[in-house]
Amino acid sequence: MFRQIRLWVICVCAGLSTVFAEPPTNIVVIGWDGAQRDHVKEMIAGNELPNLMALCKEGKLIDIDVTDGMTDTKAGWSQILTGYRSDITGVYRNSRYQPIPEGYSVFERLESFFGPQNIVTLAVIGKKDHVDNDAPRRMEYDTWLANEQKQGKIDLQRPGLGNLRGGRIIEENGKKYVDTPGKPWYFASRNMDLFVNGLDTNERVALRAMAELAAHKESRFFLFVHFANPDHAGHKRGENSQAYSDAIRDDDAWTGKITAKLKELGLYDKTLVYVVVDHGFDEDKKGHNYAPYVFLGTNDSTIIRDGDRMDIAPTILKRYGMDLAAIKPALSGKPLDEPAARKVAPARNPNIRRPLPPPPRRLAAENTAEESAASKGEQTALEQLKETDVDKMTPLEAKRLLTEIKKEMGR
């Protein structure tokens, strides 16, 4: 038995020596939620993001495209921190999701690989909604419906800020209920050392992150830091606004303070830092219906190519020394230090069905609801249906659209 253990230790050590040329002890992932790639590059050209560029001078600044899942927060961070397609995690978009299957996140993989006593896994998050870990719950149907209708009005007024919840309707003893799924980070957060969200401002997020760095400076760690400011500013003021630029500039400033803290603690030389983004922003708009163009900036000099949002988690796990081939189910992405076919997001949203050519116009007396709406520059419900992937609609969304179509048809 002792001989078998000794041989196993020798084999493991030999394997690690080939994987780790210069092993990082720690990795810090800093998320700039909603930072559009072109906007960031324009600011770089104007020397407005000195801390990001200082980091990238040691490593790389690369393009990242989103080719799977929606360009929103839930889908984005779930994919970045698991390395899986949305059909594997079950997190498709902000309004269609489930808890990420237990064990699939980077945090849990590292806890399992090193052992809970040998690594500290932490997440310090600005947002409350969409980077959340609420448990599954049951509520009365009428309460659920009222919440959905209220949130629907908010979504119409402020696109992109919705928190509509999917759910399964059940009936017990003559009463209807809705079982709502747990949020994406429900399982992962229970298997980590720290998961704190809803800190809101960059300052509160960064100060908490730096406090955690100081507290765990003697340990190996993986830290995820989430800045929400660009996303909030984009929804409120628009992608081309001064507020949006200021929010990205603030992300850069606090990123610089975090890297400075790593240096002050003597940790920087053994820590890789990755600045990553979940989704971009629609050009000159206040939403990110289809915004697949983002970036990754890092001091990791082993990065050799542009990549996909799914490639980030495999890169992190490989840099910690994990055998990616042993991970089950197989990761959807490929590490960015290995050659791979370039995935490029299509210019037009592949999830939207293109409208059919318009029918011949009727006489003025026969104008339809579609023509009346068109004359006002509005989109009819029928046009919305043509451009929508109905398979990805929630029941409530489908019901609303059907109601509008019936109104247009005079039923």
Higher-confidence residue of 139 and 220: namely: 220
**End residue of a domain, out of 149, 180, 211:** 180
Q: Are 194 and 212 in contact (CB under 8 A)?
A: yes
Residue 16 lies in a domain: no
Range name among 154-163, 274-283, 303-312, 313-322 with the lowest pLDDT average: 154-163
Q: Rounded to a whole number, what is the largest CA-CA distance in the chain?
A: 93
Percent of the chain's residues with pLDDT above 90: 66
- The verdict on 127 and 88 lying in the same domain is yes
CATH no. for residue 38? 3.40.720.10
Q: Are residues 294 and 194 in the same domain?
A: yes
Q: Which residue has the tokens 């969409």?
A: 130
In terms of domains, do 166 and 100 share one?
Answer: no
Instruction: Tell me what the pLDDT averaged over the chain comes to.
Output: 85
Assess whether 302 and 315 both reside in one domain. Answer: yes
Cis peptide, bond prior to residue 136, ω within 30 of zero? no
- Do 268 and 194 reside in the same domain of the chain? yes
Position 15 pLDDT exceeds 50: no
- The pLDDT of residue 169 is 81
266 and 389 share one domain: no
* CA neighbours closer than 13 Å in the CB half-sphere of residue 226: 30
Q: Where are the beta strands (DSSP E) in 44-190?
A: 60-65, 120-125, 137-140, 168-172, 175-180
Query: What is the rounded average pLDDT of the residues 31-57?
Result: 98
Q: Please check whether residues 115 and 252 belong to one and the same domain.
A: yes
> Is residue 172 domain-shared with residue 222, that is, in the same domain?
no
Angle in degrees, CA 336, 338, 341, rounded to 5: 85
Q: Determine the average pLDDT of the residues in 247-270.
A: 98
Task: Flag whether 348 is in a domain.
Answer: no
Helix, strand, or coil here: 203?
helix
pLDDT band at 149 (very low <50, low <70, confident <90, very high): confident
Q: What is the pLDDT of residue 384?
A: 61
Q: Is residue 218 part of a domain?
A: yes
Kindly tell me if the per-residue pLDDT of 354 is higher than 60.
no
Shared domain check, 202 and 248: yes
166-212 pLDDT tens trace: 567 888 888 988 888 899 999 999 999 999 999 999 999 999 999 99
- pLDDT at position 392: 60
Helices (H) and strands (E) in the chain, counts: 15, 11
- Closest alpha carbon to 250 in 196, 199, 206: 206
- 353 is a domain residue: no
Residue 90 lies in a domain: yes
Domain count of the fold of the chain = 3
β-pair type (120-125, 137-140): unpaired
Per-residue confidence (pLDDT) for residue 181, from 0 to 100: 83
Are 162 and 149 in contact by the 8 Å Cβ rule? The answer is no
Within this chain, do residues 170 and 266 fall inside the same structural domain, yes or no?
A: no
Q: Are 229 and 251 in contact (CB under 8 A)?
A: yes
Note whether residue 356 is domain-resident: no
| The predicted structure's pLDDT at residue 374 | 43
For the cut 60, the answer to whether the pLDDT of residue 111 exceeds it is yes
Q: What percent of the chain has pLDDT over 70?
A: 76
Q: Tell me if 249 is assigned to some domain.
A: yes
Q: Which domain holds residue 158?
A: 137-180
Tens of pLDDT, residues 150-159: 766 655 554 4
Same structural domain for residues 252 and 141? no
Picking from 180, 204, 239, the residue at the C-terminal end of a domain is 180
Q: Are 84 and 219 within one domain?
A: yes
pLDDT of 88 reads 96
Q: How many C-beta atoms lie closer than 10 Å to residue 362's C-beta?
A: 10
**Residue 197 in domain:** yes
Best CA proximity match to 248, nearest among 19, 53, 7: 53
Q: Which two tokens stand for residue 37?
A: 């790639």
Is the model's pLDDT at 217 over the cut of 80? yes
Six-digit token pair at 235? 């929804």
CA proximity to 168, closest of 176, 178, 183: 178
239: which residues sit within 8 A by CB, 6+ positions away? 36, 39, 281, 282, 283, 284, 285, 286
The predicted model gives 127-137 an average pLDDT of 93
Encoded tokens for 255: 């990123």
SS3 301: coil
Q: What is the mean pLDDT of residues 222-227?
A: 98
Across 247-272, average pLDDT: 98
* The pLDDT value given to residue 138: 86
At residue 50, the pLDDT reads 98
Q: Return the residue matching tokens 């890169």.
A: 315
Q: Among 8-12, 289-293, 306-310, which stretch is predicted with the lowest mean pLDDT?
A: 8-12
At position 89, the amino acid (one-letter code) is: T
